[in-house]
Amino acid sequence: MTSSAELLEIAVTVARRAAALAQQRRYDGVEVAASKSTISDIVTQADREAERLIRGALEAARPRDGFLGEESGGEAGESGLTWVVDPIDGTVNYFYGIPAYAVSVAVVEGDPDPATWRTLAGAVVNPVLGEVFTAYEGGGARLNGTPLHVTEGVGLDLALVGTGFGYDPEVRLKQARFVAELIGKVRDVRRIGAASLDLCNVAAGRLDAYFERGLNPWDHAAGALIAKEAGARIGGLGEAPGGRELIVAAAPDLFEQLDPIVQEYYTRW
């Protein structure tokens, strides 16, 4: 059986290759290929090309595993493992040339559903900054090989909190209303624009906490494991694990302060 550490090696290799391709295509000139859920939810040619590269490389290296990707959908495997891939997380940043986008590759055991899966390994690569965030289950989190740990001992009033907004105008309006409630209670709020990097930023102590509603599995699969392995507590709506309805990530002491406020709003949603 392949160990989680070995699976991580594969994740890192394919994520690095796709990140280099995405960065090259960014220099060549970005082309919007289509809009998805709304007119602002775009997909570029580079998203599709990067996902093709990753899917092809994984099929060659791990032919019995399943695949779930943002651009090309899912295919069940026979091994019980599934690769969950966002070829470019932060597509809008990518489109504008803001250097906060990343390739996210995770491998999970069980159905590719955040409610029940077990994430074994994950890599998030930001090619512009040359940053490779990695973790495998039980092995700790690293940035370019250096161990990461969340910042502990930060009170809510001094917390720098990341979040994101969905593409649907009605949904994002509700999300913004909550931010309006929260912003008076914390140090400040950041909307960086790539959920995978938000979670890695919690792992690296660049954010104290992060929450978002409406994420897709590929947005958080790798980043949530990296944050968890760096010592973060990760939760979802109520007792559920982090997923589409809600994901909250923070050092355990800050989580205890932030989570009830987030829950209060999002259970009313």
Contact set with ligand IPD (CB under 6 A):
70, 86, 89-91, 164-166, 193-195, 212, 214-215, 219
Q: How far is the CB of 141 from ligand IPD (least distance, A)?
A: 19
Tokens encoding 159: 């917390």
Nearer to ligand IPD, 86 or 208 (CB): 86
Q: How far is the CB of 242 from ligand IPD (least distance, A)?
A: 13
Among 13, 253, 257, 34, which Cα is nearest to 151's?
253
Nearer to ligand IPD, 62 or 210 (CB): 210
For residue 5, what are the CA distances in angstroms to 2, 75, 137, 221?
8, 24, 8, 16
Cβ partners under 8 Å of residue 15, min gap 6:
54, 103, 104, 105, 123, 124, 125, 132
39: alpha, beta or left? (left if phi > 0; alpha if psi -120 to 50): alpha
Nearer to ligand IPD, 62 or 234 (CB): 234
Among 123, 168, 156, which Cα is nearest to 142's?
123
Nearer to ligand IPD, 4 or 11 (CB): 11
Nearest residue to ligand IPD by CB is 164
Tokens encoding 191: 């909307």
Nearer to ligand IPD, 215 or 230 (CB): 215
Q: How far is the CB of 182 from ligand IPD (least distance, A)?
A: 16
Nearer to ligand IPD, 16 or 190 (CB): 190
Nearer to ligand IPD, 192 or 251 (CB): 192
Tokens encoding 122: 């994950």
Sign of the Cα torsion 118, 60, 146, 191 reads negative
Q: How far is the CB of 112 from ligand IPD (least distance, A)?
A: 17
Sign of the Cα torsion 266, 239, 233, 229 reads negative
Q: How far is the CB of 224 from ligand IPD (least distance, A)?
A: 12
Which helix (H) or strand (E) segment holds residue 42: the answer is strand 42-44
Distance between CA atoms of residues 248 and 183, nearest Å? 16
Tokens encoding 58: 């994984």
Q: How far is the CB of 63 from ligand IPD (least distance, A)?
A: 27
Q: How far is the CB of 101 from ligand IPD (least distance, A)?
A: 7
Distance between CA atoms of residues 11 and 114, nearest Å? 18
Q: How far is the CB of 212 from ligand IPD (least distance, A)?
A: 6
